[in-house]
Amino acid sequence: MKLGVIGCGKMGSALVEGIVAAGICEGADVVAYDAHEPTLTRLCEAIGAHVAADNAEVITKSDAILLCVKPQGFADMMQELGDAADKLLISVAAGVLIETMEQACDGKHRIIRVMPNTPCLVGRGASAYALGTAATEEDAAITEQMLSSVGYVCRVSETDIDAVTALSGSGPAYIFLMIEALVESATDLGLSPEVAHNLAVETVAGAAELVQQTGESPTTLRENVTSPNGTTFAALESFRADGFASIVQKAVTAARDRSIELGKS
């Protein structure tokens, strides 16, 4: 399979490098283009990919194409795809609906919409994908194989993509904010910034790993570590008093609603 990639920024590069590292395709079978030449050169040199002169060359020489461009650049690119033979298009453009893409290319291509997240950069991504009307089960299998090379992947209906965006797409930022708050709180209590940072990061990473490896629910693990009237109990009671769960729910809903707005525009 000849794999094309249009847009070689952090997400596009992470996906392609993971795909090549997993042996799904050879670097020599990748054709890439990005308007920012240094970004394009870095990726192609890293994996031995072919440097395309423009989008049209990627389209011509590829069987499947990763569309990793910003939403505002999508319309022009889809026009270029309109005259091409049948391709598998895997889009990571936030807010661009499958219906919009299918209409833009007159239904000539099989389209799959993907919502990845930034931990794909370190092979710990959480991605979901939805099939377009012409996409086949073989297309789904190819997409799942690609995404699994950079982390967890699941298949959803497109109506769920906005919720996925709010949970895992934007979710890393929520965790980063929590880490920031933990570090700031610990430094206020006298820890050095370095010690506070390291302890906070390892605590968050370790807690997530514990959920994964034990198979226990977060509720059970939380209850196991909470002694009556102990330090954890005191902290959790403070969270409850301030409506922590409601704050999180409100934030995730706000992200979902914004994703819907972007899709409509």
Instruction: Give the tens place of pLDDT for each residue, 220-256.
Output: 999 999 999 999 999 999 999 999 999 999 999 999 9
With a CB cutoff of 8 Å and minimum separation 6, the contacts of 40 are 8, 32, 33, 34, 51
pLDDT at 157: 97
162 pLDDT higher than 80 = yes
104 pLDDT higher than 80 = yes
Residue spans of the domains in the chain: they are: 3-157, 171-264
The pLDDT-based confidence of 72 (bands split at 50, 70, 90) is: confident
**pLDDT (tens digit per residue) in 119-157:** 998 999 999 999 999 999 999 999 999 999 999 999 999
214 pLDDT higher than 80 = yes
List the single range of 13-27, 64-78, 94-108, 221-235 with lowest mean pLDDT.
Answer: 64-78
Calculate the alpha carbon distances from 147 to 132, 210, 218 in Å.
17, 23, 26
Classify the C-alpha dihedral 168-172-175-177 as positive or negative.
negative
Calculate the alpha carbon distances from 84 to 78, 81, 123 in Å.
10, 5, 33
In angstroms, rounded to a whole number, what is the distance separating the alpha carbons of residues 24 and 92?
19
89 pLDDT higher than 90 = yes
Residue 174 · residue 159 · CB < 8 Å: no
pLDDT at 82: 66
pLDDT at 7: 93
The pLDDT-based confidence of 165 (bands split at 50, 70, 90) is: very high
In angstroms, rounded to a whole number, what is the distance separating the alpha carbons of residues 8 and 52?
12
Fold of 171-264: ProC C-terminal domain-like fold (1.10.3730)
Which tokens belong to 201? 């990061």
Helix (H, G, I), strand (E, B), or coil: what is residue 74? helix
pLDDT at 77: 77
Which tokens belong to 14? 């992470």
Average pLDDT, the chain: 93
The CATH homologous superfamily of the domain defined by 3-157 = NAD(P)-binding Rossmann-like Domain (3.40.50.720)
76 pLDDT higher than 80 = no
**pLDDT (tens digit per residue) in 28-47:** 999 999 999 999 999 999 99
Q: The pTM is what?
A: 0.91
